[in-house]
Amino acid sequence: MSIKLSYLDCCFEGVIPSTIATCSQEGIPNASYLSHVYRVDEKYVATSFQFFNQTRANLLENPYAVLRVRHPVNLQSYRLKVKYLRSEDRGPVFEQMSIKMDVIAAYEGMGSIFRLKAADIYEVLEIEQESEETDFHPPLMACPFESREDLELLRVISDKMNQVMDLEELLDQSMQLLNRYLGWTHMILLLADEEEKLLVTHASFGYSVGGVGAEVKWGEGLIGLCAQHRRLLQVNALAEGFRYAKAVKQGASLEALTTRIPLPGLANPASQVAVPIQAYGEFIGVLALESENKSNWGPRDQLFLSTITNMMAVGISALEAKGRDLKVTSQRESPLIVEQNPVLRIRFVPGDELIFVNDQYLIKNIPARILWYLLQTFSKTGRSEFSNMELRAEKSLNLPEIKDNLETRLILLRKRLEEQASAIRLISTGRGKFKMEVVGRLDFPANE
């Protein structure tokens, strides 16, 4: 086989539909479009079996077929002579294909119709490149991750990531590095709240609205499915109007909408990808990217994404482990904007664990409990200095015993305060210590 199957990876991304020719025992040929062709390894490919059709009937009678796939950028096509071997309704190939189908089904709202019955496995006997098809010969990105330049780029990014001093800097800097060195324009970084089975936006890049605190439940949309399955997932060639948030928004109650922080998203993305961030067997979060221009996230992008999210995961774990050394906030001391009426009405809803400042929803769950505790303590005792150790020991906060993610929760809280209630600030005073500044008079109308 002169052309390696992995060289054709870009053709398997589903941007241009692939086709298959089969033949019945009686000699009637059949041509059909395929929703997906997957490369299993260098010798085998798989197609999805969703409906029993003539293609499948023919394959059961006569296993020889020809697949035709096309490169999404230069439109060069390739013919794969294949032999159908078997159908698998379990195992790694089936699982991987099934997840991809679930993602598409979630976007199309056709879950049960697109359910994968089996992965049809074929041996690839021969690959041929179609001749003289196009006058368009753009320089193609290296499909496999093979160039020295790419490795050098990776080294530069890893060097820069290793230079960060704290968790907040890592979360913010990572996306700036991806933009600077890889040209990716729109990104969201969400961290997992295992207890609540949801992801919370901690940083974003490229959007007019930051969306810090925006949540995605596990299993919802591309990001939620990525969290659920712990795999890189992507959707390409999206129809106009799709957004990350589309699936999330559907079915949301009115009450939920009043406390919902909108997830940042492009109005008309061409493609989206979500990558799990995990290290040492622990799921940390998801990095989600989207683009208005790219038709797909090819193998090179995927290798960069997987490697960089691995580095981020190790960085986050390491910086959380030395959490007592973490700063709660940056040292910048921008002047506070004091409003005419400096009354700060604080309302905490214990059952739902929501906190409102001047009737504006601020944050929920543990960060809400932390802020409530800080404000109550400040109000009753006048004390404004706190430590992470104190928060960990405070029973009313009910922090998880094994992994409390206190530092990331404080970063989230500080960012939300910056965005929504700038009269309350958390300022670092040393390792694991901070002070709260409140400009205005605290009022606890319904809760006192």
φ/ψ of residue 255, rounded to 5: -60, -40
Taking CB under 8 A as the binding criterion, the range among 14-22, 353-361, 395-403, 427-435 that sits at the site for another protein is 14-22
For position 427 contacting another protein by CB under 8 A, the verdict is: no
N- to C-terminal Cα separation, the chain: 77
For position 65 contacting another protein by CB under 8 A, the verdict is: yes
Name which of residues 253 to 312 contact another protein (CB under 8 A): 270-271, 295-296
Question: Which distant-in-sequence residues (6+ apart) come within 8 Å of 13 by Cβ?
Answer: 72, 234, 236, 296, 297, 298
For position 329 contacting another protein by CB under 8 A, the verdict is: no
**Distance (Å, rounded) from C-alpha 48 to C-alpha 312?**
34
Instruction: Select 30 or 376, whichever has its Cβ closest to another protein.
Output: 30
Residue 48's identity, in one-letter code, is S
> Tokens for 277?
């961030």
- Single out the residue of 79, 117, 217, 345 in contact with another protein (rule: CB under 8 A): 79
> Tokens for 176?
């700036």
- Single out the residue of 3, 60, 66, 104 in contact with another protein (rule: CB under 8 A): 66
For position 106 contacting another protein by CB under 8 A, the verdict is: no
For position 133 contacting another protein by CB under 8 A, the verdict is: yes
For position 209 contacting another protein by CB under 8 A, the verdict is: no
**Distance (Å, rounded) from C-alpha 360 to C-alpha 420?**
8
Residue 398, sorted as left (phi over 0), alpha (psi -120 to 50) or beta, turns out to be: left
Q: In angstroms, what is the minimal distance from the CB of 340 to another protein?
A: 52
- Single out the residue of 74, 96, 185, 384 in contact with another protein (rule: CB under 8 A): 74
Name which of residues 366 to 405 contact another protein (CB under 8 A): none
Asked whether 273 and 305 are in contact (CB, 8 A), the reply is: yes
> Tokens for 403?
């992994």
For position 21 contacting another protein by CB under 8 A, the verdict is: yes
By residue count, the chain amounts to 448
Taking CB under 8 A as the binding criterion, the range among 21-29, 298-306, 373-381, 425-433 that sits at the site for another protein is 21-29
For position 134 contacting another protein by CB under 8 A, the verdict is: yes
> Tokens for 276?
């799990």
- Single out the residue of 2, 29, 280, 448 in contact with another protein (rule: CB under 8 A): 29
For position 113 contacting another protein by CB under 8 A, the verdict is: yes
Helix (H) or strand (E) holding 276: strand 271-279
Q: How far is CA 273 from the centre of its chain?
A: 7
Q: In angstroms, what is the minimal distance from the CB of 232 to another protein?
A: 20
Q: In angstroms, what is the minimal distance from the CB of 268 to another protein?
A: 12
Residue 227's identity, in one-letter code, is A
Q: Are strands 343-349 and 441-443 parallel, antiparallel or unpaired?
A: parallel
| Site residues, another protein (CB under 8 A) | 15-17, 19-23, 25, 27-33, 35, 50-51, 53-54, 62, 64-68, 72-75, 77, 79, 113, 130-136, 138, 236-237, 239, 270-271, 295-296
